[in-house]
Structure 1
């Protein structure tokens, strides 16, 4: 008497493998086709265009992110399809400038998507937490640290780091052989040719190390990418509690940060259920190790700082003093996670933006000369690092920085938000609850209706010519709404001090005027390198 099992081959036969393999492929195809046919959010009925593979699977966007040019590719899709593009089964990219005020607005009820779960390290911090109440609690603790008044207390640390940098750059211009490895070619006619990106990385890491952990990482002095990291297993939260003696080694922090950004930006595009399996793929496994190492850097730095009490006024001191509405201080692991958030945000954005601004001013020497004329009038022959008070009202300097943040767009990709109950209407389209929407900064920073007919040209003058209200409503360097960057005041002061110090002292040129600024994007869009010629100015 036969049973149902008799109709199936044994599990280890070749026929069985073919059958089960075929079933697996069939299920995989069905899992993508069925939602597409069902169209639960009405995207097909609304005729929202986009690549067919993107409509079927999140893997399309994850692969684009892993390739390092997501913002440019999404921008190309908007140029091809229009203001509304489908970039994943449930993710719509909106390049309508007015969408910023809707998608990211205060009080609209939209939440961060599970994209942010890929950025959790140690524990959720102010950037990665998705819960509205928890984010409000964290923001109340952290936001006062970055008030304009508090930020001014950090200025001496920034100016001290800049003093070290110009000392090293002066050495590049001399015959000091200890920095010979940084030169692209021998000095000629008083000009040093070198990759300025490396030094901006050292500067940014040393500044944020000083502010967030009590002392710089020492990268400027050593001229090398190196930081201490706490070695841990799979439970960095345990080490962050301070309960275990740490093993400390030196690692390349900038490289780790880059690897982590690329990993998380791609991993965050995948469905959350598949991520544990994706981590076994070698490329993702390497990125996951970078996440652990980056956590280890924060753990080691916080552990060292807390072991030696100090009366310094810096970010970590402020975080230690921060209390929630119940008067509770942050636990050790939360303190470390928030310090890590400041390390990531404070190093990456500053270094990449400084490098990009240097590139664009070298490419457009007329803008460089206009800036230097303004700086000369304000600072005279004084070669000391200027103060923020001397710079904060310089209009062309401000335009130079903002134009760099616009055209380079360090934070370029559209940050995804989940539409709340009741839905949202954007660009004349109603998106139901559960839809995922984003507005790509890279694309809206190139909207000709706002920025004029030449948005791909670096031209600081546009900040005086275009409609001021339209520009401010579209400029998205620090995000918008309740999840906007809390460190905006600090970042703005840093960039003014860096750009003014460097361009008052030196002048820059490119190897050739058609030299591109090659970039690679993880979570942030970063220059790969930036070779420039630098020489001292005679003011």
Structure 2
């Protein structure tokens, strides 16, 4: 009996100690303030715990929330116990500079699945090696070689939309593709985002894996993954049987994977092994594994049937480091997965952002129509070519303006301050402090962009001296860790937008619709 009472008292004491321990773990670092960041304002919870940033990231609107914090507190905001967000254009060249010694923070560990790739490796020597192997595949010369594949799938997209339009003018409707479509008064209504996703996935599938996923033809979010990825990884050169694969909604899974990794990266590294077992995070972990399976399946299939075609994967295979060594098969697959992620979701979202703003701004759309008609020919129905879109200033201005408002890397990419510290805007930060510069916020700095920062106005890129804007413009990040594929990404956007806008006139189904990217109304005015 006494032993039973003693056990109950011990358990009771232990339960009381848990909240005390939690308080101590968070309060002591705040009081010690080893990085000297206590003086910076920010949300109360963020000063003591990473949970504020983790919940904000999970909500999917981190950039907007952090921006509101900057509007409230100023250019320096403490968004985690050891993380200060700096909303100042001049901070870009300091925090992300070449040779400053700053490293990616452990935020990037949450994006590792097969193995570390050029995006999520934090070791400087390892990144230098990977970058040397990979960078040549995105040279201007290589990008030109990829143009035929890009144009092929843009043409297929236009064929599908023309087919739906011809059915729509007859008053027909359907459910092809996610979001469906309908004809009304000789017009076609459809949701742009699923189709932009089909396009970007098919392009990157062809370039990175040697063949498209077939989403445009099927008008469906579908890709094949192996039931047992590890088995496929260990059996390169052997054919994968149809019974060993599954068809999955790749776009949906990519989105789930992104939300999961973004949220997990904001959580302390020591908590991650436990947090990933919670229901929402558990599903996110499955999405990570499934997406990796897509890359494993595609690369295994490609290596089982060697070809002399020129694409991203063939160029990755040709790459060598300073010692003349190629990438291992596992490393090759990890980089192919990076290409899939970086080349699909970002391109589709950017495409929709540009079309959305052109639909809202009739003046800009008509001005772009005029430039395309004059330079490319109003009667030419072929897909735009690289040389044709090379010198179209208003097209570039429209793309840049949409990327300013909807940057592909809107959040502040975190960097760990190196030995010797960094001084930003007169404020010194010691070694180990995490700093980030949010693109969403500096793209709305009125001292750079003017008072109309929330307006889509491409003309700002063509007015007088734009050196300050180009210095602040950060859609693909800057410095040694900037996006390697930015040349290819911009060419894709030029060809996609020029080809669509020379052919269609676009308006929003709901002219007052602002949040999200909405549904678009296609009129048969330019065929």
Alignment partners' CA distance in 2, 1:313 and 1:173: 35
What do residues 477-533 of structure 1 show as CA deviations (whole Å, max 9, x unaligned)? 010000000001000100000000000001100123210232xxxxxxxx5xx2110
Alignment partners' CA distance in 2, 1:118 and 1:129: 11
Alignment partners' CA distance in 2, 1:310 and 1:425: 52
Alignment partners' CA distance in 1, 2:373 and 2:389: 11
Give the corresponding residue for 2:374.
Answer: 377
Cα 1:216–1:181 change in 2 (3 A) is closer
Count matched residues.
517
Contact 2:395–2:494 (CA<8 Å) still a contact in 1? yes
User: What are the equivalent positions in structure 2 for 1:208-357 lying under 5 Å apart?
Assistant: 208-232=204-228, 236=230, 239-242=232-235, 247-357=244-354
Alignment partners' CA distance in 1, 2:91 and 2:296: 39
Runs of 4+ that moved beyond 2 A: 6-11, 15-18, 176-186, 238-247, 536-539
Cα 1:329–1:20 change in 2 (3 A) is same
Contact 2:181–2:191 (CA<8 Å) still a contact in 1? no
Q: Which of the numbers 409, 412, 436 marks the counterpart of 2:410?
A: 412
Aligned-partner SS, 2:28 = helix
Alignment partners' CA distance in 2, 1:222 and 1:426: 51
Alignment partners' CA distance in 2, 1:329 and 1:241: 18
Report deviation, 1:60.
1.0
Which ranges of structure 2 fall in alignment gaps of 5 or more residues? none
Alignment partners' CA distance in 1, 2:464 and 2:436: 25
Report deviation, 1:280.
0.7
Contact 1:241–1:332 (CA<8 Å) still a contact in 2? no
Give the corresponding residue for 2:436.
Answer: 438
What do residues 436-463 of structure 1 show as CA deviations (whole Å, max 9, x unaligned)? 0000000000000000110000000011
Report deviation, 1:8.
11
Aligned-partner SS, 2:502 = helix
Alignment partners' CA distance in 2, 1:245 and 1:33: 57
Aligned-partner SS, 2:325 = coil
Cα 1:245–1:59 change in 2 (3 A) is farther
Contact 1:241–1:333 (CA<8 Å) still a contact in 2? no
Report deviation, 1:386.
1.2
Which ranges of structure 1 fall in alignment gaps of 5 or more residues? 1-5, 519-526
Aligned-partner SS, 1:187 = strand
Answering whether residue 100 of structure 2 is matched by residue 119 of structure 1, we say no
Alignment partners' CA distance in 1, 2:181 and 2:441: 37
Answering whether residue 469 of structure 2 is matched by residue 478 of structure 1, we say no
RMSD: 1.7
Report deviation, 1:241.
4.2
Alignment partners' CA distance in 2, 1:538 and 1:476: 34
Contact 1:212–1:314 (CA<8 Å) still a contact in 2? yes
What do residues 89-142 of structure 1 show as CA deviations (whole Å, max 9, x unaligned)? 000000000000000000000000000000001100000100000000000000
Report deviation, 1:7.
11
Report deviation, 1:184.
5.7
Alignment partners' CA distance in 1, 2:235 and 2:181: 47
Give the corresponding residue for 1:360.
Answer: 357
Give the corresponding residue for 1:521.
Answer: none
Aligned-partner SS, 1:192 = strand
What do residues 358-390 of structure 1 show as CA deviations (whole Å, max 9, x unaligned)? 100000111000001000001111100010101
Give the corresponding residue for 2:52.
Answer: 60
Aligned-partner SS, 2:224 = strand
Q: Taking structure 1 as the reference length, what is the TM-score of the superposition?
A: 0.93
Aligned-partner SS, 1:79 = helix
Report deviation, 1:431.
0.2
What do residues 58-98 of structure 1 show as CA deviations (whole Å, max 9, x unaligned)? 11101100011100000000000000000000000000000
Cα 1:179–1:209 change in 2 (3 A) is farther
Q: Taking structure 2 as the reference length, what is the TM-score of the superposition?
A: 0.95
Q: Which of the numbers 134, 155, 174 marks the counterpart of 2:166?
A: 174
Contact 1:142–1:322 (CA<8 Å) still a contact in 2? yes
Give the corresponding residue for 1:79.
Answer: 71
Give the corresponding residue for 1:425.
Answer: 423
Give the corresponding residue for 2:451.
Answer: 453
Alignment partners' CA distance in 2, 1:286 and 1:101: 38
Alignment partners' CA distance in 1, 2:132 and 2:233: 22
Contact 1:195–1:531 (CA<8 Å) still a contact in 2? yes
What do residues 418-442 of structure 1 show as CA deviations (whole Å, max 9, x unaligned)? 0000000002100000000000000
Alignment partners' CA distance in 1, 2:117 and 2:493: 25
Give the corresponding residue for 1:206.
Answer: 202
Contact 1:478–1:484 (CA<8 Å) still a contact in 2? yes
Answering whether residue 485 of structure 2 is matched by residue 535 of structure 1, we say no
Give the corresponding residue for 2:21.
Answer: 27
Contact 1:359–1:517 (CA<8 Å) still a contact in 2? no
Cα 1:261–1:538 change in 2 (3 A) is closer
Alignment partners' CA distance in 1, 2:339 and 2:276: 26
Alignment partners' CA distance in 2, 1:179 and 1:335: 41
Give the corresponding residue for 2:42.
Answer: 50
